[in-house]
């Protein structure tokens, strides 16, 4: 029992220290702005966008993946993928973009 409680505590402490409060605090509208500014060159970031790079996943398809979660995505964005230029995304910005992508899930 004690170890379980300790693990939960550690997990909470880690989440808190990263400043990513799960989805609640994130601002999807701000995330949409950021996505249009920084990601639209390669990704289809919204359904109104008609052109992007051919072999780059659209944000809608990212959102529909079965294992999608805004928390995981926000973590992913703090460590950009190799083919992506290194964006200086703050934790808040990463969470906002993740919240925006999560909003495409419907
Ligand atoms: C220079 C082009 C480029 C830009 C700009 C770019 N990406 Fe990407 N992104 C890619 C490519 C290419 C992939 C495919 C994965 C790979 O091969 O690394 C990808 C993959 C991803 C994935 C993973 C998709 C999956 O397969 O699950 C996410 C999430 C993502 N990008 C988010 C973003 C976000 C958010 C931004 C803006 C902050 C962004 N990308 C900007 C090129 C880009």
CATH number at residue 63: 1.10.760.10
Residue 5 Cα, ligand 1 centroid: separation in angstroms? 37
Answer with the residue of higher pLDDT: 43 or 14.
43
Domain that holds residue 74: 22-103
Do the domain assignments include residue 67?
A: yes
Phi and psi of 43, rounded to 5°? -100, 150
CB 13 within 8 A of CB 27: no
CB 15 within 8 A of CB 84: no
Domain count, the chain: 1
Per-residue pLDDT tens digits for 39-62:
998 899 998 888 888 788 999 999
Q: What is the DSSP string of 10-27?
A: HHHHHHHHHT--TTTT--
What is the model's pLDDT at position 2? 64
* CA-closest candidate to residue 60, choices 38, 32, 27: 32
Do the domain assignments include residue 57?
A: yes
Does the pTM exceed 0.85? no
Mutate to test the pocket of ligand 1, among 81, 85, 94 (most ligand atoms within 8 A of CB): 81
What is the model's pLDDT at position 105? 86
* CA-closest candidate to residue 18, choices 29, 26, 6: 26
Do the domain assignments include residue 10?
A: no
pLDDT at 97 over 60: yes
Q: Which ligand 1 atom is the nearest neighbour of the CA of 40?
A: 5
CB 83 within 8 A of CB 35: no
Do the domain assignments include residue 55?
A: yes
Do the domain assignments include residue 32?
A: yes
What is the model's pLDDT at position 67? 94
Q: Which ligand 1 atom is the nearest neighbour of the CA of 39?
A: 37
Q: Whose CA is nearest to atom 7 of ligand 1?
A: 84
């Amino acid at each position: 029992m004690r170890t379980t409680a300790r693990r939960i505590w550690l997990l909470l402490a880690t989440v808190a220290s990263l400043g990513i409060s799960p989805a609640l605090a994130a601002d999807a509208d701000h995330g949409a702005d950021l996505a249009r500014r920084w990601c639209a060159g390669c990704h289809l970031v919204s359904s109104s966008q008609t052109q992007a790079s051919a072999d780059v996943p659209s944000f809608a398809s990212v959102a529909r993946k079965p294992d999608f979660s805004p928390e995981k995505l926000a973590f992913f964005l703090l460590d950009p993928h190799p083919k992506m230029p290194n964006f200086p995304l703050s934790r808040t910005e990463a969470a906002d973009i993740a919240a925006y992508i999560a909003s495409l899930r419907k």
